[in-house]
């Protein structure tokens, strides 16, 4: 029987590449996004069902899962990919921006997971793949809110694997490094507060370096292949670093905090 994957945030970048990867491997793909009518390049592909799903709208989550099961009878893998980054000085952020960042990257991911678990329990199997980031285990300047959400996803996933193991439901964490996607453009929300100028010097250095990392990063297809591997390797492996994350995480493990902090500052605070 053909297997089915449901992926959130497939309008572009990693989500879109993942949908294409599973489709080419013969899977049924439920490609979800906030505006599926715009997904013209995957809308008419064989075995692909494009559905509206906004992770901050619980009704759209339950409706998409119900439609997916009605169409393909079952879902074998959930890929929680939807998310975005909020960059800038924490002091300049508003409570609304903080709430939106967590509502999308953490609470939305949790809601999608909670909604699909009854289906996975009933069929006594399932794989949950949470796309976190290397930024879920290391931190860079001006990304305190984004990092907070990805560290939350790491902790949530690591704990969740224990309670789902007896139910034959596996949890995976994908940890991409810098990837060439629109994360650094369309998906990056900049915190601005013109009257607060104390952080201008660090912002004027860090943000261009961040954009440079995005332009020279690894292809999204590499992450998509890692997601496919994690979904199909039948292992209990939890973490899958990819796209330069392996080396950075090795250094984080090897170096004491002071040296690692100096290393990050050298990368992010260096003048172009």
Q: Are 244 and 177 in contact (CB under 8 A)?
A: yes
* Overall average pLDDT of the 64-73 stretch: 98
pLDDT of residue 215: 77
Give residue 217's pLDDT: 84
Band of residue 78 on the pLDDT scale cut at 50, 70, 90: very high
Looking at residue 183, its pLDDT comes to 55
Predicted local distance difference test score (pLDDT) of residue 115: 98
Q: Which residue in this structure is represented by tokens 């006594």? A: 124
pLDDT in tens, 128-170: 999 999 999 999 999 999 999 999 999 999 999 999 999 999 9
Does 187 have pLDDT greater than 60? no
The structural domains of the chain, ordered by start, are: 4-268 (3.40.50.720)
List Cα–Cα distances, 223 to 1, 56, 128, 154, 234, in angstroms. 26, 24, 16, 17, 18
| Residues catalogued as catalytic | 146
Minimal CA–CA distance to 33: which of 55, 48, 17? Answer: 55
């Amino acid at each position: 029987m053909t297997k089915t994957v449901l992926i959130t945030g497939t309008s572009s970048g990693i989500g879109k590449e993942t949908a294409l990867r599973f489709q080419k491997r013969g899977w049924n793909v439920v490609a979800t996004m906030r505006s599926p009518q715009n997904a013209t390049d995957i809308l008419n592909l064989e075995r692909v069902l494009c559905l509206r799903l906004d992770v901050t709208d619980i009704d759209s989550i339950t409706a998409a899962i119900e439609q997916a099961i009605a169409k393909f009878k079952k879902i074998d893998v959930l890929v929680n990919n939807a998310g975005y980054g909020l960059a800038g000085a924490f002091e300049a952020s508003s409570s609304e921006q903080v709430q939106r960042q967590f509502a999308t990257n953490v609470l939305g991911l949790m809601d999608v997971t909670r909604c699909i678990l009854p289906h996975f329990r009933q069929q006594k199997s399932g794989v949950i793949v949470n796309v976190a980031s290397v930024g879920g285990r290391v931190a860079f300047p001006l990304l305190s809110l984004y990092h907070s959400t990805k560290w939350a996803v790491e902790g949530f996933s690591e704990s969740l694997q224990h309670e789902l193991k007896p139910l034959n439901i596996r949890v995976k964490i994908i940890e991409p490094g810098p990837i060439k996607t629109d994360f650094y453009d369309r998906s990056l929300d900049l915190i601005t507060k013109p009257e607060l100028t104390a952080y201008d010097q660090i912002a004027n250095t860090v943000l261009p370096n961040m954009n440079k990392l995005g332009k020279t990063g690894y292809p999204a297809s590499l992450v998509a292949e890692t997601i496919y591997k994690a979904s199909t390797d039948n292992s209990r492996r939890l973490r899958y670093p990819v796209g330069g994350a392996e080396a950075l995480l090795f250094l984080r493990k090897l170096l004491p905090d002071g040296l690692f902090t100096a290393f990050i500052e050298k990368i992010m605070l260096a003048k172009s």
